Structure 1
């Protein structure tokens, strides 16, 4: 299917994500990933009021090279939380619907993949000590985003092995076509630019990450990313 096509590259593509106001990155800038919202709130969440969306970077690379991500909360953050799988799945669907709306109304974003930001551990960000309920949230989010805009949109995931295994369970796998973006390991803001030979993103959910966030909280750059392939 067209929405599973990956644009491959013989060298890495460099980008930044999140907040800051830089219009480039220390290794150059060919893509940007900005926060669209969190939970069921557009433009609000851990970065508040869109502060995790760098308009300067989005303008520099253009909408065709700008992605969005959505901070997904676990089942216990649902006002209707009752411990059931069906309610947890509906909570994921509700968050996914808001992500679609945010994508449709953000003129800076045109890349089709929306990444679900799934991080933390049970007891944090609404995730619970029940992998079945946590999985239901993701599955609800995935199903509605993947079907978004008549099947045009693509549901991806931002996470890392430790968080994914604690939240979803180490044996829980993603569809092989799911674009993944990993934040482990961290090289640090002062590290040299990764190369195709030192690309070291750690897999989760049984899928090798196409984007690696190799450094976090790097001043006005926000976070630093390298991509072996750019999802649609």
Structure 2
């Protein structure tokens, strides 16, 4: 007989179980210690947040709150037309999240850094409203001048400065005018009392033209617009005044209150929820830059505003 020890069936099973336990333990250790794979995609896209502070836990380099992946950028409200006219309303800027985005960009070369938008007022809240496109253009330029001053003080490095054009509804903390003066003319900027319930689309468009012209003429920033297809149509109609083929865009439609599915490109993975742009542009346009996919448009996710940012198209 050989000198090899015999192993009984019972002992053999015990050895197999022990070996399997060791193997599973090793696999578990690998899973526990391996870095998370979560992150944005395809290459060139970054997760980000905007406006209100969302707690970002952990140290640098910082990660996108709640859903994971690298924290790719922050975009905050630079100013509010209602403050330019003395109505004393809020400005939503997170110094904390802006600092984290700046650190990721400046130190770790992650994301796009810090961006800004200006909460725009339409012709109907212009203190000097006279119904002309000339005055509307000047009103847009005055708001742009304030936006540039605010961008300088907040160290905005993202190269596109956004005009926030929306119909906020009854939002007294932000504005005294439910439509921000895009579709109605008010007795005074702060009154909240409608004098005329109509503004020509050409006059509305002149405000945007004044903003964009001043931004590009007095700074290195490019002009962009934050809005959504239905809101855009309700202000500018569907004719030539609505078309902005060479203007950078940030949309907030479609949106969701759920953070279960995350963006990949311009759609939420595993769903039919996708970004829809406006002013004659689509997601395939080189000017389609950002998508606020949760937290905007009245959606609530319990945290704040989440964004998808295409750095490859950023000028």
TM-score normalised per structure 2: 0.63
Unaligned runs of 5+ in 2: 1-40, 57-63, 106-112, 169-176, 184-197, 269-273, 283-287
Change (3 A) 1:81 1:30: same
Q: Highest Rg: 1 or 2? A: 2
SS in 2 for 1:30: strand
**Distance in 2 separating the partners of 1:9 and 1:143:** 33
Larger proportion of strand: 1
CA apart distance, 1:74: 0.5
Cross-structure match for 1:203: 277
State the Cα RMSD in Å.
2.6
Alignment CA distance shift 1:197-1:19 (3 Å): closer
Go from structure 1 to structure 2 and tell me whether the alpha carbon gap of 1:193 and 1:126 turns closer, same or farther (over 3 Å shift): same
Q: How is 1:92-131 mapped onto 2 (pairs within 5 angstroms)?
A: 92-107=140-155, 109-120=156-167, 124-128=179-183, 129=198, 130-131=200-201
Structure 1 stretches (4+) deviating beyond 6 angstroms?
44-47
TM-score, normalising length from structure 1? 0.84
Q: What secondary structure sits across from 2:262 in the alignment?
A: coil
CA contact (8 A) 2:201 2:236 kept: yes
Residues 4-28 of structure 1, C-alpha deviation per residue, up to 9 Å, x if partnerless? xxxx962531000011242342234
Alignment of 1:16-31 (within 5 A): 16-23=49-56, 24-27=64-67, 28=69, 29-31=71-73
**Residue 4 of structure 1 corresponds to which residue in structure 2?**
none
1:179-226 Cα shifts (integer Å, max 9, x gaps): 200000112243321112725210201223321101115444x20111
**Post-superposition offset of 1:80:** 0.8
Say which structure, 1 or 2, has more relative contact order (CA 8 Å, 6+ apart).
1
Q: Would you say how many aligned residue pairs link Structure 1 and Structure 2?
A: 217
Aligned to 2:261: 192
Aligned equivalent of 2:271: none
Gaps of 5+ in 1: 1-7
1:137 aligned counterpart, secondary structure: helix
